[in-house]
Structure 1
Amino acid sequence: MKLCLLLFLHCLCCLGLTEEPSTGTPHDSGPVDEDEETEEVQSCRVKRVFSLEERRRIGGTIQRLGLQLLENLPISPQQPNVVLSPLSLAFALAHLTLGAHNETEKLLLKTLHAHSLPCYHHILGGLLPHFRNTSLDMATRMYLRPGFQVKLSFVEESLARYQSQPVPLVSVEEVNQWVENATNGHIPNFLESIPHDVVLMLMNAVYFKGEWQTRFDPQGTTKGAFYLDNQNSVSVDMMKSAQYPLRLLHDPELDALVASFAFKGNSSFLVVVPFPGRGNVSSVLTKLNISDLYRRLPQEKTMQVNLPKVKLQYRQELDEALTNMGLGSLFSGPDLSGISDHPLKVTGVRHASTVELSEEGVEASATTVITSMRSISLFSVNSPFVFALVDDDSLAPLFMGIVTNPAPDNDSMLNDDPHSNSTMSDQPVMENSYENSRSCSEAGAEGSSVQTCSAPAGEREHLQNVNGLEDSDGKQ
């Protein structure tokens, strides 16, 4: 599985650069009076190791930011999927907060859900060394227009907290090359041009290449139907495994099935599939709580799994979404006097991401053919879903997204036997599995995608479901 994202925030000087200063180096705004620092800030500076509880509180703030952004990004037939990194956005806005004062700082901290969280910058920035031990690479950079004077205190805090090194803003080609390198070639030609009045760009890039703990055999990937709604479907490549260890939760609070696929390297892939006729991806977002789900997810059980193989690209200006989230003043008259004595405003927040979900992973310990098991449950992701790539330590969502059509370039087709559903996330009866060697009927909650597979007529014994799906209370 490969995911990569680039987020950059660019600022312009409202007055323009009327004359070229003699030097483009940061200038010192004067020594900081240590007496003005609170005891809390001083303790954060001294503290080097933060507890799991503190890291998970930060993970919770990143989750809430991501959910809020997903709720404010449009989905349409022309752009049916959303892929973003709440982690990346948190880093960009937190970086900007270092140079914000007064009401602007309060608004940014409120949007980050960090206004009452001690040592926020220190703990968030402290996640960077942790990610070096995972499958995630994160790079940060601060581009400065030559001649633009930025306060030394901002540069020092940017480097100390978020490892953002200032470099001269020379050309769009140089910026695009850095982006391409940081995303392992997945996001080329990110910018067409850089306006002459842009004097500062805060950038970060996130790249994740994970290996499944249990891989999907490429030979098992076949064409399958993904149901867009109760009338239309598209043909997609569906990765299949006959015996896959999966943590699966029937959640009546979300009206959804929740599954967690394990990656190597202390991360996991969370999939939330709404029940047909009882909810959709929008209703799920308003109730989603990742840390609570991970607390309630049961132990792994072996079952059949179908997961669409997807490669999605997503580019979006986030200005409107952030304005809807209460940050409209960033683009008109913010107080960013901690960055420079020149009046600044944010002129754009651009986001680009790609996601590739494939069979890659370590060798599976389970075989791909059922031999000794009498029956097995089936979990099939064949209708719109919400996903999150989660760091298992902090429970911070590294990536989140909504997939309503994993193959937007394919023509849709009418379902042969559509259900009478009324939501975009409805999930019809699954097609027969194992090349129609077994017939499958629904089991458990009405509308769920967990089914009991029985042998065709003539076999000596019927298969019976032995993998009873746990509900949120742990009952079977």
Structure 2
Amino acid sequence: MAFIVAMGMILMAGICPAVLCFPDGTKEMDIAFHEHQDNGTQDDSLTLAFVNTNFAFSLYKKLALKNPDKNIVFSPLSISATLALVSLGAKGNTLEEILEGLKFNLTETSEADIHQGFGHLLQRLSEPEDQDQINIGNAMFLEKDLQILAEFHEKTRSLYQAEAFTADFQQPTEAKKLINDYVSNQTQGMIKELISELDTDTLMVLVNYIYFKGKWEISFDPQDTFESEFYLDEKRSVTVPMMKMKLLTTRHFRDEELSCSVVELKYTGKASALLILPDQGRMQQVEDSLQPETLRKWRKTLIPSQIEELNLPKFSISSSYRLEEDVLPEMGIEKVFTEQADLSGITEAKQLSVSQVVHKAVLDVAETGTEAAAATGVIGGIRKAILPAVSFNRPFLLVIYQTGSQSILFMAKVTNPK
């Protein structure tokens, strides 16, 4: 019988009135599980961050290979946390495939530690912040006659904050509307149709959603936005609204080895955006080099310096993926989609397998940030070692990471911002 996993992610950076993206803090090592540092959870959080980064880059490479010259946007955290939740009900080879596909080494990290780590991370991200708004969570929609095991229900609730609802999947249209209305409500109407199809074999739909509202720490002035060319390749270009900021003091790094520039733009809360601009013709080189160590090197090497002028396109992109078709199987997660799936930890009543893994994401980037006063002292500064203009007028990468947990929350490739 069918079990559907669906993920909806909204990411908007600096857009008015709804600004969605993870803001950044100033302490790079503000570990998400600081309240548990005395019993070793700090090390666990760093392990989880490393593993999640490995999964994020591995998944990105698969998506980039299958979607050449297309925009890509996804939330690796949304996907990994949801699959980890599914693994709570998996056993045997099905369980091992899921966790190893998520890049965990089961000889080094126990299953209990994995779930505890995700639980702490999700709890920390759900804590209210004065400067931003985040809505992250999971929900299970269960066939009205399906009896799930009490242990699975309790663990999904306590570790993954999952709500449980009943649905009549014998009425697919009504069930689909129930699920899509729930996701639309949780994402402020930004994702309206996460589920496009259901059938009467469906017993359970698991939904993950992430919605974040935050602001740039230093906003772009809308009056400075101008029309400019964005070069899709050496022969083609499109005209886009280009945001501009002069004499910006921010952390910046020129990676000569990988032929790319890395610029950090902070948000007012507890995350940062890393904008990676490969030199012309060097995108493939940068993509091939994406490893946890690469991100660690960039974050470690970034130093505050002044950029004479920063140009960044104003854009809105979206992506939709069916990850069960080939992406996840190629990453080693296969049995859960077949009749050999062992999900007997969810229910003993019927044989379950996952029929769909749907992921939809939206990314908006625009000018709006904090008040002008918050940016005044930073944009000025002493004129020393001013770097030349950095113009994101060709395909680039965007990585949003939460500084407390050091986990990648969102990742995008912008090949055409129009």
TM-score, normalization: structure 2?
Answer: 0.81
1:211 matched to 2:211? The reply is no
| Letter aligned with residue 279 of structure 2 | F
Who is 2:202 aligned against? 198
Q: Which consecutive unaligned segments of at least 5 residues does structure 2 have?
A: 7-35, 169-174
Greater RCO (CA < 8 Å, at least 6 residues apart): 2
SS in structure 1 at match of 2:207? strand
Match of 2:13 in 1: none
Q: Does 1:315 align with 2:320?
A: yes
Q: Which residue of 2 aligns with 1:160?
A: 158
Q: Is 1:396 paired with 2:388? A: no
Q: Percent identity?
A: 28
Q: Give the 3 Å change call, closer, same or farther, for CA 240–183 of structure 1 in structure 2.
A: same
| Contact 1:67-1:285 at 8 Å conserved across structures | yes
Partner-residue secondary structure (3-state), 1:327: coil
Distance 1:254 1:208, change over 3 A: farther
Match 1:343 to one of 327, 351, 359 = 351
**Match of 1:130, SS?**
helix
For 2:159, the aligned partner's letter is R
Going from structure 1 to structure 2, the CA distance change for 1:82 and 1:183 (only over 3 Å counts) comes to same
Aligned to 2:52: 62
Matched, 1:324 2:322: no
Range 302-311 or range 110-119, more displaced: 110-119
* Shift in Å, 1:189: 2.5
Q: Higher helix fraction: Structure 1 or Structure 2?
A: 2
Residues 117 and 295 of structure 1, relative CA distance in 2, 3 Å threshold: farther
The question of 1:354 aligning with 2:354 is answered no
- Check conservation: 2:54, 2:291, Cα contact below 8 A: no
Return the alpha-carbon distance in structure 2 between the equivalents of residues 47 and 142 of structure 1: 32
Sort the Cα spacing of 1:106 and 1:48 in 2 relative to 1 into closer, same or farther, 3 A: farther
Partner of 2:90: 100
Match of 2:124 among 127, 130, 140: 130
Distance (whole Å) between structure 2 residues aligned to residue 392 and residue 59 of structure 1: 10
Q: CA deviation at 1:48?
A: 10
C-alpha deviation, 1:376, in angstroms: 5.4
Q: Cα 1:343–1:401, aligned 2, differ >3 Å: closer, same or farther? A: same
Checking the alignment, whether the CA contact within 8 Å between 1:254 and 1:287 is kept in structure 2 is: no
Shift of 1:367: 8.8
Once the two structures are TM-superposed, the CA of residue 402 in structure 1 deviates from its matched residue by 1.2
Residues 52 and 394, structure 1, Cα contact 8 Å, conserved in 2: no
Summarize deviations over 1:356-407 as a string: whole Å, max 9, x none: 0011111343499999959652111111111111101111111011111111
Once the two structures are superposed, the pairs formed by residues 28-39 of structure 1 within 5 Å of their partners are none
| 2:137 aligns with one of 136, 139, 161 | 139
Alignment counterpart, residue 121 of structure 1, candidates 115, 118, 122 = 115
* 1:268 equivalent in alignment to 2:275: no
Matched residue of 2:164: which SS? Answer: strand
| Distance in 1, Cα, partners of 2:402 & 2:296 | 11
Letter in 2 for 1:227: Y
Aligned residue number for residue 252 of structure 1: 256
**Equivalent in the alignment of 1:9:** 5
* Structure of larger gyration radius: 1
Does residue 386 (structure 1) correspond to residue 397 (structure 2)? The answer is yes
- Partner of 2:27 in structure 1? none
Question: Partners of 2:39 and 2:218 in 1: how far apart?
Answer: 33
Change (3 A) 1:290 1:106: same
SS of alignment partner, residue 200 of structure 2: coil
Q: Distance in 1 between the 2:393 and 2:289 partners?
A: 17
Unaligned runs of 5+ in 1: 1-7, 11-45, 408-476
TM-score for both structures, normalised by structure 1 = 0.71
Determine the C-alpha separation between the residues in 1 that align with 2:208 and 2:67: 29
1:363 aligns with 2:371: yes
Give the aligned partner of residue 334 of structure 1: 341
Which whole-Å deviations, capped at 9, do the CAs of 1:330-356 have from their partners, x for residues lacking one? 211211111112211110100111000
Q: Equivalents in 2 of 1:371, 1:268: separation in Å?
A: 21
Give the Cα–Cα distance (whole angstroms) in 2 for the partners of residues 368 and 394 of structure 1. Answer: 26
- Report if the CA contact (8 A) 2:397-2:411 is conserved: yes
What is the root-mean-square deviation in Å for CA atoms of aligned residues? 2.6
What SS does the aligned partner of 1:72 have? helix
Moved more, 165-174 or 315-324: 165-174
2:78 alignment counterpart: 88
* Among 284, 289, 300, the residue aligned to 1:295: 300
Q: Secondary structure of the equivalent of 2:328?
A: helix
Q: Is the 8 A contact 2:46 2:406 kept in 1?
A: yes
Give the AA of the match of 1:81: N
Would the alpha carbon gap of residues 371 and 297 (structure 1) be closer, same or farther in structure 2, given more than 3 Å must change? Answer: closer
Q: CA deviation at 1:327?
A: 1.2
Deviation larger for 279-288 or 357-366: 279-288
CA distance in 1, matches of 2:185, 2:38: 31
Deviations 1:186-235 (A, max 9, x none): 11122234211110111110012221111100111111111111111111
Contact 1:291-1:395 within 8 A present in 2 as well: no
- Go from structure 1 to structure 2 and tell me whether the alpha carbon gap of 1:245 and 1:53 turns closer, same or farther (over 3 Å shift): farther
SS of structure 2 residue aligned to 1:108: helix
Contact preservation (8 Å) 2:247, 2:380: yes
1:80 and 1:173 map into 2 onto residues whose CA distance is: 30
Q: Say how many residue pairs are matched.
A: 365
Q: How far apart, in 2, do the equivalents of 1:362 and 1:370 lie?
A: 16
Matching of residue 169 in structure 1 with residue 167 in structure 2: yes
Q: Secondary structure at the match of 2:409?
A: strand
Secondary structure at the residue paired with 2:223?
helix
Cα distance in 2, alignment partners of residues 156 and 61 from structure 1: 26
